[in-house]
Structure 1
């Protein structure tokens, strides 16, 4: 239903402007917000009334600096006082082939073990329509960093959710009596839609009008893809909804729940989440009756191990290995250049100390992307650094400076031994030209590319009193190492 509030929908106009500013298509905006594309299109055209929750998601996705919230307040202030119409769903209408289905019971069990989530989903379906049902649509959607779509989009574009990881299986009937076949409907980096087919090796078994059956499906997702939340969206008429979260007791999980709809902000669950202790497991359970259509029920959790120290902090480890930490003002001083070849002996001595420090550090941590150390990081104010590439090559640099950059600029996470508790996204060029001096006094220019260029640029910065945090985009902050999922992996280009 079109909204009659004035000739101009201030929110729709502002949303369209910010969509254009960020260069998003309507589909890309919908994906970033976590809403259905058709609903976003209707809001943009003024055919549907946005909710405050929608405005908040749009603000987050488009980084509009409060402009969209202000536009929503203006839009609401201009609306005549009247009962609110039924809001449009945030998800698409059930596709052809599922019409007439009622979900008598929707039950989900999510179990976490050793970095892997396994979801077992059971539904009792009733065909209250007039036609046989031959297939049923399910969705698998992950978001490692809810509320930070830019970061999530980068994660999944570089490391997408795959069918091999999911290992989807499905069954028909109680006790997994009959295997169901399935076929992909949509295959995206962080989102899959699948048709479960009422057929298998034993032939076809359509769900006829008036009949009911249980279906069950199961899949796995690694925790590098799955954030600390699980959401149930009510897309079909449902009589009972239940969820169990099954965690190892030693993680000391705490769980809470939020209920949202298209017409209201997030509210706590109306009924409490119950915890049962079962040996070395903590099982959290919750259920409700007759959930409203298009409502979303979101369970979130935190693990004690996410915040409690389980050993020395990474920074403390590096300090114990002789790495100067960022509280030392010496890291901000430009390093003193070598006069080569007359100081070649001193230069070789410093490199020997750097290599010894690198060996100590490598025994304490895995560096899949390679590593580097600059002389100021071991308390020596001289312009020398070494870089160990992912392939094991050692690059030695005396008096280096970057004289030219070329190629694309991309952002990837970097870490620094001098503040190893965090990782930060740093924009750097794919190719750099570095002028440096050999031990015999010759001036050389060497080109470095991609991951090695990033490693070298990081160490050259150290020799000029610059830390990688100085290179990060305004408004972007490092993240705790506990949230970083790239340890041990290589650079991605």
Structure 2
């Protein structure tokens, strides 16, 4: 019997988390017979079951996508093969990673990494050892400061407390031996052996290996990177932080030839029992790609090492001041002829808005224009403080009224600053809908300010252009209105 997409993915994630059917059923809150039937493909999962499995197994959206495919909610993509049951073809023969799963947790002083990999020997020779790397950098933006730290307080084997296992459910402990030992960098050979017993991985065979180590936050910075060094079918990452630290997480993808870009898919987030858990996964990552997650603890008392807001926004894919596109007039859409292109750009804006909203609290509402994500087209999104979303194609202000007031504004494209900007209390905006119809909408007070800010972006202007002569922006540290609404 061929497994359906959801059953295949559920079995994979049960194996990744190392859970028996009994434990999986108990944690999901369903009977063992029902879970067994879902796993075997003889019972169709409910939407509630799929969502609970996604949340409990923290699959980074993989189970949600598999359920959508199974129910026909979206076009069926090419699926990867299930966990290795037969040899796979590779060029030249090599070790292949069927699933690379990393889980990093933080308790307020100590980071603990648990790494699980399902390895496939696609070569013609047995494999008896596996090389791993442990690399830390407390201050990635200040190499001299990091070097000084590790020279005075090197990363030690006692601190790492490395342990490794072979097989399902940590069946066999593994021996290990140092390969390189540096102040902030270790390489280790994991031996497929234990106490004189050897269990090499023969050609065509597959196995799980797992290792775990700890690093104090004196040595570990606010980032975690996964580098793809072997052919890999699925890569997944989970970050687990105390929720009272108010973590904000974002991701960057780089390669040997490309600049850093935001992850192509969003990072899932859930809060439960005092923990904030972020999970993400990607299929068939290219060789030499690097996936870097960064975070900021907004609730941490000592904020001296806080990531600059502009760097956070740049990491989320927001174009920063100095980029020529912010001073160009965006090209209008020809609607409805360009409706498909317009919808695509709006989808990109929604994705960027979600990323930004996870990283910062916007008490006054927020907006984002297409040039701010590198697309020179005339469309912007505005989210009001009440949670409404306004989509504006080809907008221009045709009338102002109601007097004027002057309040502080921020801009995602230079988020380290806040500037006091005079704006009309009422604006009439002409804009187009997706069907090509022209409308004039009146916006007032705070919403008028938000809309005017975004319309400026589409005409190559920034709020700096509207500040009164002699008035300069202030730093975000001086600004006292973060998270609160405008007052009228």
Q: Shorter-chain-normalised TM-score: which range? A: 0.3 to 0.5
TM-score, normalized by length of structure 2? 0.43
Larger radius of gyration, structure 1 or 2? 1
**Which TM-score applies when normalising by structure 1?**
0.42
